[in-house]
């Protein structure tokens, strides 16, 4: 049965931890769905993982819709969430409603995610009132990279920690069904988790969050360069891809592929 936003809140009340992974394409989504990953996020991190940009800022709604539709088709059992990218909701509530609506209508995701507090709290209220479930995202929110002056851990000072805690409470009150906490001290992750009835989903936010999310490229060992401190690699698929490609190339050059079992007969 497809995971719903009600399941997430129930799991929190039962103390049952769960996972979310990012996914950006049909094939990977199928494998993750087979692995019973309950929540898939089509993150704007696809700017880096799929499109080769240095950050998330160039990602458009059209990029997101194309990839989100593929994930939805590959994962009939998961709750699939579409990440509203930079400038999809920054200018107005109208933009937020139109673009969130596009996600549900065109890609058929079940929910959207928005980064930040401030005006996003009001947008969350409006979307939730229209039947569009919202996942919030606080802490080291990647679209704020220029404002933060780099990818830096957030919420280290008392004041900044208080702000994140208050934003999380306000987003819950506005109707968010979950909140991603990224790049904050574990102690703050624990405080926010204890203060909310909705689940917290941590990435670099410590072990006390109700759920954990990672970027699938990091989990599979496909990230070519630096891997963040909070990541655990569960496979080395990058090495496996390189070895397979080298072997194919070698076999063709040596005449070792194709062999008779790969050939079609005339009749
Ligand atoms: O875009 C993304 O992948 C994300 C996750 C890291 C939470 O926002």
Write the CA distances from 40 to 19, 63, 69, 82, 253, integer angstroms.
9, 17, 12, 9, 41
Per-residue pLDDT band for 226 (boundaries 50, 70, 90) equals confident
User: Is position 148 within any domain?
Assistant: yes
User: Is position 257 within any domain?
Assistant: no
Q: Whose CA is nearest to atom 4 of ligand 1?
A: 43
> Is the shortest distance between the CB of 47 and ligand 1 below 6 Å?
no
Strands of the chain (E only): list them: 18-22, 39-42, 79-83, 111-115, 134-139, 178-182, 200-203, 211-214
Q: Which of 50, 201, 215 to mutate to test the pocket of ligand 1 (most atoms within 8 A of CB)?
A: 215
Q: Does residue 142 contact residue 113 with C-beta atoms inside 8 Å?
A: no
User: Is position 126 within any domain?
Assistant: yes
Note the pLDDT tens digit of each residue in 76-134. Answer: 999 999 999 999 999 999 999 999 999 999 999 999 999 999 999 999 999 999 999 99
User: Is position 247 within any domain?
Assistant: no
User: Is position 244 within any domain?
Assistant: no
Residue 139 half-sphere exposure toward CB, CA atoms < 13 A: 22
Q: What is the pLDDT of residue 84?
A: 98
* Number of domains within the chain: 1
In sequence order, the β-bridge partners of residue 25 are none
Mean of the pLDDT values across residues 51-59?
97
> Is the shortest distance between the CB of 203 and ligand 1 below 6 Å?
yes
For the CA of 213, the nearest atom of ligand 1:
7
Q: What is the pLDDT of residue 224?
A: 85
Round to whole Å and give the CA distance between 76 and 99: 23
Q: What is the pLDDT of residue 104?
A: 98
Q: What is the pLDDT of residue 241?
A: 98
**pTM assigned to the model:** 0.97
Percentages helix, strand, coil for the chain, rounded to the nearest 5?
45, 15, 40
Structure tokens belonging to residue 186: 């574990």
Note the pLDDT tens digit of each residue in 130-172. Answer: 999 999 999 999 999 999 999 999 999 999 999 999 999 999 9
DSSP character for 199?
Answer: P
User: Is position 35 within any domain?
Assistant: yes
Q: Determine the Cα angle at 73 with ends 71 and 78, to 5°.
A: 65
Per-residue pLDDT band for 210 (boundaries 50, 70, 90) equals very high
Average pLDDT, the chain: 97
Q: Does residue 96 contact residue 143 with C-beta atoms inside 8 Å?
A: no
Tell me, rounded to whole angstroms, the distance of Cα 21 from its chain centroid.
6
Q: What is the pLDDT of residue 11?
A: 98
Q: Which of 44, 151, 211, 222 to mutate to test the pocket of ligand 1 (most atoms within 8 A of CB)?
A: 44
Q: What is the pLDDT of residue 266?
A: 95
User: Is position 262 within any domain?
Assistant: no
> Is the shortest distance between the CB of 115 and ligand 1 below 6 Å?
no
Round to whole Å and give the CA distance between 78 and 73: 11
Q: Whose CA is nearest to atom 8 of ligand 1?
A: 43
Domain enclosing residue 98, as ranges? 5-236
Q: Identify the CATH number of the domain in which residue 26 sits.
A: 3.20.20.60
For the CA of 214, the nearest atom of ligand 1:
6
Q: What is the pLDDT of residue 73?
A: 98
Round to whole Å and give the CA distance between 104 and 102: 5
| Residues that are catalytic | 182
Is a pLDDT exceeding 90 seen at residue 225? no
User: Is position 71 within any domain?
Assistant: yes
> Is the shortest distance between the CB of 78 and ligand 1 below 6 Å?
no
Mean of the pLDDT values across residues 61-80?
98
Mean of the pLDDT values across residues 237-264?
98
Cα Rg of the chain (Å, integer)? 20
For the CA of 142, the nearest atom of ligand 1:
8
Write the CA distances from 90 to 100, 171, 242, integer angstroms.
13, 17, 41
How many Cβ atoms are within 10 Å of 75's Cβ, its own excluded?
24
């Amino acid at each position: 049965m497809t995971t719903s936003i009600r399941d997430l809140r129930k799991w929190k009340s039962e103390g049952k931890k769960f996972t979310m992974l990012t996914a950006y394409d049909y094939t990977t989504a199928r494998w993750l769905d087979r692995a019973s990953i309950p929540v898939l996020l089509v993150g704007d991190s696809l700017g880096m993982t799929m499109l080769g940009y240095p950050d998330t800022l160039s990602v458009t709604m059209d990029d997101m819709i194309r990839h989100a539709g593929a994930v939805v088709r590959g994962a009939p059992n998961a709750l699939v969430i579409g990440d509203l990218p930079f400038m999809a909701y920054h200018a107005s509530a109208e933009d937020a409603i139109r673009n969130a609506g596009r996600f549900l209508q065109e890609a058929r995701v079940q929910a959207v995610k928005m980064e930040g507090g401030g005006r996003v709290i009001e947008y969350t209220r409006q979307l939730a009132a229209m039947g569009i479930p919202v996942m919030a995202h606080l802490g080291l929110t990647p679209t704020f990279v220029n404002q933060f002056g780099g990818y830096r851990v957030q919420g280290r000072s008392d004041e900044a920690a208080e702000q994140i805690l208050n934003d999380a409470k306000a987003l819950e009150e506005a109707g968010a069904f979950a909140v991603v906490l990224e790049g904050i001290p574990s102690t703050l992750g624990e405080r926010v988790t204890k203060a909310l009835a909705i689940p917290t989903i941590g990435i670099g936010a410590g072990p006390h969050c109700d759920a954990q999310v990672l970027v699938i490229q990091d989990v599979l060992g496909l990230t070519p360069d630096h891997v963040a401190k909070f990541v655990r690699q569960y496979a080395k698929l990058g090495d496996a891809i390189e070895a397979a490609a080298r072997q194919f190339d070698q076999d063709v050059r040596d005449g070792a592929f194709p062999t008779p079992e790969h050939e079609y007969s005339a009749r």
